[in-house]
Structure 1
Amino acid sequence: MKRLYPLLLVTLFFACNDNTISADAEAQTIDPEMYWGESPWPEIRKQRINQLLPIALKAAEVDCWLVICRENNNDPIADHIGGENAGGTAVFLFYNDETGFHSKVFSPSGEATALGDLDIHDEVISVERGTSAVVMAVDFIKEKEFGIIAVNSSESNAMADGLSYSQRQNLEELLGDYSDRLVPSTEVVYEWLSIKLPEEVEILRKAAQLTADWQIEAYKEVVPGTSTDADIAKFLKQKMAEYGVKNGWAPDQNPNVNSGVDRGHSHATDKVIMPGDVIQIDFGIKVYDRWVSDIQRFAYVLKDGETEAPKDILHYWESAKAGNRVALATMKPGAKGVDVDRAQRVLMKEAGSDYVMWSTGHPVGYVAHDVGPNLGGSQASHVRPASEKLIKEGMTFAFDGFHAWKLEDGGTKTISVEEMAVVKENGAEYLIAPQEDLILISN
């Protein structure tokens, strides 16, 4: 008889379009549209542009942000500003002036009507065939005499690096002396994307809960001596298919199920799960094709005669959990990412953990490793800039508490208690209840 400790009978209810669906039911095919409802992204995008972008422009100390969108080789920020359907070249301008915040788009006539219907920009100017949207935008920039103009050319942030070489050349030629006013949009994009609206946090909360619940279900499927890591990964893939969600990161490495020696970011193998194994599941899902979760859950497979994990395994678990908890406590507005990493690693050292190369945590939201402060760097020879960034209210993170030790074969095993949290005014809070006890599996 197979047992799973602690007994976790999680019932998850979502109310979507007045339909309530239980996620603890037997495997079934779910209509994704009925389960999730219509995507809230259009309205959330509009809120993000009008509420958060003016603040981001001020924080980045720029007068105007220019984004050029086009067909087939579009800017990575395009769908955040409504430019995902660009055919001909379109130019999006965002700026603050004495009258407030403004968004102005110079769009080819073939797309201008549809873009205007989205109702997310102050003004959409239709550009007739044979006329350059870039020329019109440059004329407007000169008319407004903007001082600092951010454009999407960045060495450090891929989301702020969409302007091609030829586009940059053309823009500088048209701007003339004004081209000296161009700066990378790195800080604008950072300040904007790193903050999530409360509505987005709630979506991430639901995604995190599903991610954790399914991992608990997956552990119930483990048959020691028979089940492989790949079998458990396949079970989770099936849950994703049933509920109409996508992978949180590269499909071949999501989920990563690992009952053996550390493999880092990798795929699940055919390694057979055996008594005495510590099992890691690192798993994330993407909901509404937009927001991403990243949660880990750990289990121990009891050996014959055992009713609980051995003292050393329990020590490793409690050590890693303590590291996660102190990271959360340090994650306050005004702290730096490196501060969170340092607090967690102090406990690691005290508990006798081996060295772990990974950062304590990272922003999570639109991708698994999102834009925002890196929670790392305290053990590095130099602290990377993202770790020196200040933590702010509205940021969301996935973060670990670590404990690593040597296995009998000389390899290393790491428990990495990974949870998700949002930063509030007075500190951070978990998105969902964290894992408190190591899950125990027996025959």
Structure 2
Amino acid sequence: MTNQIIFDNKKLVAEKVAQATQILNELDVDLWLTFARETTLSPDPTLELIADVDVTWESAFIICRDGAHVSIVGRFDRENVEQLGVYTQIIGYDQGIAEHLRAVLTEKNPRQIALNYSENDVAADGLSHGLFLSLQSYLAGTPYADRFISAEKIIAAVRGRKSTEEIARVRTAVATTEALFNEVEQFAKPGMTQRQIAEFVRGRIDEMGLGYAWPKPFNPIVTCGPDSPVGHAAAGDVVLEKGHTLHLDLGIRQNDYCSDVQRMWYVLDDGETEAPADVQHAFDVVYGAIKAGESMLTPGTPGWQVDEAARDFIVDNGYPEYMHAFGHLLGRVAHDGATVLGPRWERYAGICELPVEVGNIFTLELHVKVPNRGIMSLEEDVLVTGSGVEYLSNAQTALRYIKS
């Protein structure tokens, strides 16, 4: 079942570094510095995009708006960086990085040095406090310690605007996920527990040698009937019963990129050939809300306005509003940082105001509760283009059924 396309990580890094150069020019920023060490213990989320190497000693990856990029790494990490072919100058050091860093900054003389810290975007907050203090120490007595700015806008754009290679990888992961849903439909039967269904899915993922978009013990999320907890709960011993809904939230990691899709079934009761009216109505409203949000998913629209369209549709149709964001970026991880399609609540401050951009891949997701039946929840993965929205998943437009 796994897609046999061979993806090239060097090509991906080259795409993202070229993109970063363009973004620095758009934002009128001279230099972006990713400062890292011991990345197996404390990885900066940005490093996998612009270098995709592990480093041990203190290392500087310097993206410059003129395209003359510099990497300063320990001697024994230099070869891996050279293999990338994207850094014009690679400096390998032995005793310490400070002298080399000061020399490069003196040569570049940037007006601003963008660093990976952010109050709002976790994906842009990879610089530890200790490394920040080290940077201040190394640059003490130079003019550069007073030129630090946050790189959050740069990182939001680099991470959010998916390259051709990234889109292909997400598309592949989504296709594999949808094939797994088809297998679940053949496997699941009344009387099975959530745990049995989840273990079946994890067994198939493991057989294919794939990874998980979020931790395995909580993936997939399996919700059946009115007694299931709603949210990121691990699959338990709730039994799938006739007359109830079955919901799966599944995300795999394939070729370093993720899917995040939710699908819905109704378990036909004795004598039924279709879902009863309350279940069908709930599906229609959830589907309609996703379409309402999709209609607002256009370049330049702030995330909260997209959420508002979906949220208003739910409330206008008599259901309580959902207490989460309508969507998030998808990529290297399920929640890929930066722009959120969420309401203007405190917890989304600074990220729900960010505008939708061409190349963004978002999830569109929400749920309602169906009394005595379970939840009704859908999630689609979509790409924002200059002319509209492209579904990377095959949208679920009709309720699916589990037969006895």
TM-score range, shorter chain: over 0.9
Match of 1:351? Answer: 317
1:244 to 209, 212, 230: 209
1:423 to 362, 378, 384: 384
* 1:384 maps to 2:345: no
Structure 2, unmatched stretches of 5+, are: none
Q: How does 1:32-431 map to 2 (within 5 A)?
A: 36=4, 38-50=6-18, 52-71=19-38, 72-76=40-44, 77-82=46-51, 84-96=53-65, 100-127=66-93, 129-130=94-95, 132-175=96-139, 176=141, 177-224=143-190, 226-261=191-226, 262-288=229-255, 290-377=256-343, 380=345, 384-407=349-372, 413-431=374-392
Q: How far is the alpha carbon of 1:395 from its aligned partner?
A: 0.3
Q: Secondary structure at the match of 2:271?
A: coil
- Measured against aligned partners, the alpha-carbon deviations of 1:109-162 in whole angstroms (never above 9, x if no partner) come to 2222332122121221232x23x3232122221232211111123323333333
Q: Secondary structure at the match of 1:91?
A: strand
Q: How far is the alpha carbon of 1:243 from its aligned partner?
A: 1.4
Q: Secondary structure at the match of 1:258?
A: strand
How far apart, in 2, do the equivalents of 1:190 and 1:135 lie?
Answer: 31
Q: Secondary structure at the match of 1:237?
A: helix
Q: Secondary structure at the match of 2:70?
A: strand
How far apart, in 2, do the equivalents of 1:355 and 1:37 lie?
Answer: 41
Q: Secondary structure at the match of 1:62?
A: coil
Q: How far is the alpha carbon of 1:381 from its aligned partner?
A: 7.0
Supply the AA of the counterpart residue of 1:174: Y
Q: How far is the alpha carbon of 1:318 from its aligned partner?
A: 0.7
Supply the AA of the counterpart residue of 2:84: L
Supply the AA of the counterpart residue of 1:229: Q
Contact 1:90 1:134 in 2 (8 A): no
Q: How far is the alpha carbon of 1:300 from its aligned partner?
A: 0.4
TM-score, normalised to structure 2, is 0.92
Contact 2:223 2:375 in 1 (8 A): no
Higher mean C-alpha displacement, 104-113 vs 364-373? 104-113
How far apart, in 2, do the equivalents of 1:210 and 1:268 lie?
Answer: 21
Q: Secondary structure at the match of 2:352?
A: helix
Q: Secondary structure at the match of 1:387?
A: coil
1:349–1:146 Cα change, 3 Å: same
Q: How far is the alpha carbon of 1:94 from its aligned partner?
A: 0.9
TM-score, normalised to structure 1, is 0.85
Q: How far is the alpha carbon of 1:59 from its aligned partner?
A: 4.1
Percent identity over the alignment is 26
1:166–1:386 Cα change, 3 Å: closer
- Measured against aligned partners, the alpha-carbon deviations of 1:273-312 in whole angstroms (never above 9, x if no partner) come to 1111111000000002x10100011000111111110011
How far apart, in 2, do the equivalents of 1:383 and 1:363 lie?
Answer: 13
1:83–1:137 Cα change, 3 Å: farther
Structure 1, unmatched stretches of 5+, are: 1-22, 24-31
- Measured against aligned partners, the alpha-carbon deviations of 1:66-105 in whole angstroms (never above 9, x if no partner) come to 1223235444133323263323222211111xxx322111
Higher mean C-alpha displacement, 271-280 vs 433-442? 433-442
Q: How far is the alpha carbon of 1:60 from its aligned partner?
A: 4.1
Q: How far is the alpha carbon of 1:383 from its aligned partner?
A: 5.9
Q: How does 1:7-22 map to 2 (within 5 A)?
A: none
- Measured against aligned partners, the alpha-carbon deviations of 1:16-60 in whole angstroms (never above 9, x if no partner) come to xxxxxxx3xxxxxxxx7xx5354422211121112x101232344
Q: Secondary structure at the match of 1:418?
A: strand
